[in-house]
Structure 1
Amino acid sequence: MDFTYVLLNILMFFGLLGFVFFLAKKHLKFSYRVLIALAIGLVFGAVLQLIYGMDNKILLDTVEWISVVGSGFIRLLQMIVIPLVFISILGAFAKMDIEEKFFKSGVKIISILLGTTAIAAIIGILTAVIFNLDASNINLGDAENAHGITIETRATEVADQTLPDQLVSLLPANPFLDFTGERPTSTIAVVIFAAFLGFSLIQLLKQKPEIGEKVSSGIIAVNEWIMQLVKIILRLTPYGILAIMTVTVATSDFKAAVDLGMFVVASYVALITMFIVQLIIIAITGLSPLMYIRKTLETLIFAFTSRSSAGTLPLNIQTQTTRLGVPASVANFAGSFGLSIGQNGCAGVYPAMLAMMVAPLAGVELDAKFIITLIAVTVMASLGIAGVGGGATFAAIIVLSTMNLPVVLAAVLISVEPLIDMGRTALNVSGSMVAGTVTARTNGTLDKDMYNDGSFDELTAQV
């Protein structure tokens, strides 16, 4: 009998997927299909939990099968992260004018990413104080305790590393190992490796132009090839989002979410505040914040629903180059560095708020020295954050362990992680686009006519 109900649920799920496919055949805009899939997943997941209950075997068996679609989509996103980052960086060098000052742009991009992360940490700290967040009021359940053990295990891998050691670990001693994504800092290691190859390409173009042009042409061709792969995977987004939302809602502990409701509200207050700061930065450079919102909204929606900064990278770069008027070289560097450096949401707001929550439970005094140290540590910990899932946890581990706070308490928020992570990811992606836009604007290379042009095509048709 249980199998019959599971089969019925799965058939209903595939019927919903068919409906989303029908919308695609009717040429409904991609962003609308993503939002509709999100809404369907939320409703379907809630209905499943309402009918069966969270721990019911029928529900658990159903979501296990539905997860094949959702988890499969996430794995496909993970599959393209390293190739996409690597070829995007190389492609930027291949398309770059030989006299273009990469170093100046790179320093600006990294400075903006780290500077905005410091601001995000300050906002996280202030929000935690205003909302009086305190982890001592939260009871850890079985899921939280199990997650805490996992976090402690991961913490042992970085606990013995000093800050200089962590900085050295960013460098690619074995780039082929980093291509496997084996290390937490593999993404930034690949970026660094690609940058070195890019510098060597520039030298080759100067010393042996004929060979250099051949290499550049090959890189550009491979870049186009990879982008076609990205397009194929992005087209699966509505189906993946529907599955992910269904599983997330069907298996969510709503009681725990209610208990942690104050943290959820505080988190989104902090995230929205930081987004406003990003808009102020845009306005300071003489650009319209409203136009920025209008042109980046589709990409931010994708980031919000997919919860993947890396998966959003192609849309991120296309938004910058075809809507915001950012040169391709700057857009590629800002987008790729933004996957690993200074993520405002996952590496700024989140670990700072968590440390402020945990400190009272550990008996730590929240004085000026603690807060200044926390801001500095948060910024340094933001180096090398992964762009697909787990980045916020890794940042939290480094911050808590460096501040001598109990790492296991990073597990207190597991029940509301997916809900918060959607907002964090959107803020991360916006931060990298702001870095690219501001860098191009201050370099004098931003196409203002394109930025201010209110007419633009759908991004997925351009990827």
Structure 2
Amino acid sequence: MLNNNLVAAIETNWLSLLIAVVVVAGLHALAKRRVGFGTRVLVALGVGLVAGIVLNQTASEFQAISTLGSIYVNLIRMLVMPLVFVLVINSIVSITQLDYLRKIGVKTIGWFLGTTGAAAIIGLLVALAMNPGAGIQASQPEGFEAREVPTFFQVVLDQVPSNPIQDAASGKVVPILIFALFIAIAIVRVGSRKPEAVQPVKAFIASLTEVMHQVVKYVLRFTPYGVFALIAVMAARYGIETLKPLAMLIVVSYVALILHFVIVFGGLVSFVAKVNPLKFFKKAYPTIAVAFTTRSSYATLPVNLEVITKRLRISDRIASFVAPLGATMNFNGCGGVWPAVVAVFVSEVFGVPLSFTDYLLIVFVSVISSIGVAGVPGPASISTTVVLTAVGLPLEGIAIVVAVEALIDMGRTAVNATGTTVTSLLVANAEGEFDRASFDRDEEDELELTTA
């Protein structure tokens, strides 16, 4: 009986299975030829659309492809809790090992988190105003249950950890974040009195962080395959017309990023540091350009250090602290604007309404999770996963938006890197380590950019 059912399933899904095997083999061949990750994701998007159209017209079942997409979503879900817990602890412990923590560390982290919160608010407002999910409708995943809308005080109470293991098993992200913060603070406090007592814990956390980074890399390698599968299934079920509004997602994202760049960064430079914003951004242009083209905060770091010290006339002491920390922790674009836009998009696509309390939670989780994704490959995907999980939205929506991430990631990274440059100015100005006279006097600064 079982064999008969298996044969029947294969016969019904033969086209789906054939397409899945051919596409997976093709994407794997591109990876072997060292075709760029972003290119492979875009190829997977295009092939998924074509495959979905074919299946929409020729097949009633496509379980082989949908199973591939479900595997990808499950792998992402697998990462959330252990990754958040380990990385929040490691980030806080690593930061507090620096001598400057009390003097400039708190200010630096405060600006990072504050601007990320502002970015999340802007992302929410723009997404709600422009509604990027309009026109796309998807059925809610099997087993998904809409949450009852709790009162504000119940939401606050639910975020306080009571049983961390049970919270993790229940998929509650915020209690795990808070629990990790308590652990990190305790390690710092004990370490200030008895360094030898916490050294084994620090070494374990640092080692586990490296291991989790590698696990993330493994999972992210499946992204092109997951994008292909979930886009193909969506196109097969709903047709090509439902995917056209993805273009609106790109527009909404860039509108939010530009508004954050102009209003938040421009406002802070003008009114807090009291610096001409046009002159500042002109001097910071190498950082913006390299971040936009490389899509990597790490690749931008050497250039940003040069810009901060030689063009902006900020002390080496401030630059050497803020710039490396910003490359691993400051995610205004990836951790602020993007998760907020995606949350609104996914709620519209899957028909899961969000309340005002959910909006507050999105901003809060975006800020806190930006600590947790410090130094992780693909921070935008991880932050978005954490935010969607926190507000109870289907993670299946991630693969839909990942399809256009390569186009949006350029703007996100430019905003991330610029945010680090702005924070360097704000901290240096507050600490008297910004040479304003040289900044104002220099008309042209020589900066030789070399790229590998």
- Which category describes the TM-score, using the shorter chain as reference length? 0.5 to 0.7
Mind listing any 5+ residue stretches in structure 2 that lack a counterpart?
Answer: 1-21, 40-90, 140-167, 188-200, 216-230, 233-239
Tell me the residue number matched to 2:251.
Answer: 265
* Superposition pairs of residues 5-84 of structure 1, within 5 angstroms: 64-67=32-35
C-alpha displacement at 1:260, in angstroms?
1.0
**1:159 correspondence with 2:148:** no
The C-alpha deviation readout for 1:86-122, integer Å capped at 9, x for no partner, is xx989986xxxxxxx6522111111111111111011
Letter in 1 for 2:178: P
Tell me the residue number matched to 2:119.
Answer: 120
Tell me the residue number matched to 1:436.
Answer: 424
C-alpha displacement at 1:126, in angstroms?
0.8
371-380 or 345-354, larger mean C-alpha shift: 371-380
Cα distance change of structure 1 residues 170 and 271 upon mapping to structure 2, 3 Å threshold: farther
8 Å CA contact retained: 1:303, 1:425: yes
The C-alpha deviation readout for 1:190-219, integer Å capped at 9, x for no partner, is xxxxxxxxxxxxxxxxxxxxxxxxxxxxxx
Tell me the residue number matched to 1:281.
Answer: 268
**1:103 correspondence with 2:102:** yes
The root-mean-square deviation of aligned C-alpha atoms, in Å, is 4.2
Tell me the residue number matched to 1:206.
Answer: none
C-alpha displacement at 1:423, in angstroms?
0.7
* Superposition pairs of residues 385-424 of structure 1, within 5 angstroms: 385-387=373-375, 389-424=377-412
* Superposition pairs of residues 284-363 of structure 1, within 5 angstroms: 284=271, 285-361=273-349, 363=351
State the distance in 1 between where 2:410 and 2:243 align.
Answer: 15
C-alpha displacement at 1:372, in angstroms?
1.9
SS at match of 1:381: helix
The C-alpha deviation readout for 1:241-261, integer Å capped at 9, x for no partner, is xxxxxxxxxxx99x8985411
8 Å CA contact retained: 1:342, 1:379: no
SS at match of 1:350: helix
State the distance in 1 between where 2:436 and 2:350 align.
Answer: 51
Letter in 1 for 2:369: A
Tell me the residue number matched to 2:197.
Answer: none
C-alpha displacement at 1:181, in angstroms?
2.7
Tell me the residue number matched to 1:377.
Answer: 365
**1:446 correspondence with 2:434:** yes
C-alpha displacement at 1:67, in angstroms?
2.4
Tell me the residue number matched to 1:178.
Answer: 206
The C-alpha deviation readout for 1:115-148, integer Å capped at 9, x for no partner, is 11111011100111111122771569xxxxxxxx
8 Å CA contact retained: 1:92, 1:329: no
* Superposition pairs of residues 220-231 of structure 1, within 5 angstroms: none
SS at match of 1:67: coil
**1:133 correspondence with 2:161:** no
SS at match of 2:211: coil
State the distance in 1 between where 2:320 and 2:179 align.
Answer: 28
8 Å CA contact retained: 1:185, 1:384: no
8 Å CA contact retained: 1:158, 1:398: no
8 Å CA contact retained: 2:257, 2:333: yes
C-alpha displacement at 1:459, in angstroms?
4.0
Letter in 2 for 1:183: M
C-alpha displacement at 1:367, in angstroms?
3.5
174-183 or 61-70, larger mean C-alpha shift: 61-70
C-alpha displacement at 1:383, in angstroms?
1.1
C-alpha displacement at 1:369, in angstroms?
2.1
Tell me the residue number matched to 2:449.
Answer: 460
Cα distance change of structure 1 residues 308 and 461 upon mapping to structure 2, 3 Å threshold: closer
State the distance in 2 between where 1:130 and 1:174 align.
Answer: 45
State the distance in 1 between where 2:433 and 2:315 align.
Answer: 7
SS at match of 1:406: coil
8 Å CA contact retained: 1:378, 1:399: yes
8 Å CA contact retained: 2:283, 2:312: yes
State the distance in 2 between where 1:185 and 1:331 align.
Answer: 29
174-183 or 353-362, larger mean C-alpha shift: 174-183
The C-alpha deviation readout for 1:211-249, integer Å capped at 9, x for no partner, is xxxxxxxxxxxxxxxxxxxxxxxxxxxxxxxxxxxxxxx
Cα distance change of structure 1 residues 455 and 412 upon mapping to structure 2, 3 Å threshold: same
Letter in 1 for 2:372: G
Cα distance change of structure 1 residues 135 and 350 upon mapping to structure 2, 3 Å threshold: farther
Cα distance change of structure 1 residues 322 and 57 upon mapping to structure 2, 3 Å threshold: same
SS at match of 2:404: helix
State the distance in 2 between where 1:416 and 1:428 align.
Answer: 18
Mind listing any 5+ residue stretches in structure 1 that lack a counterpart?
Answer: 1-53, 72-84, 94-100, 141-155, 187-251
Cα distance change of structure 1 residues 110 and 120 upon mapping to structure 2, 3 Å threshold: same
Letter in 1 for 2:253: S
Cα distance change of structure 1 residues 130 and 335 upon mapping to structure 2, 3 Å threshold: same
8 Å CA contact retained: 1:341, 1:385: yes
8 Å CA contact retained: 1:138, 1:412: no
8 Å CA contact retained: 1:299, 1:319: yes
C-alpha displacement at 1:333, in angstroms?
2.1
SS at match of 1:159: coil
8 Å CA contact retained: 2:138, 2:349: no
Letter in 2 for 1:282: V
**1:425 correspondence with 2:413:** yes
State the distance in 2 between where 1:275 and 1:330 align.
Answer: 22
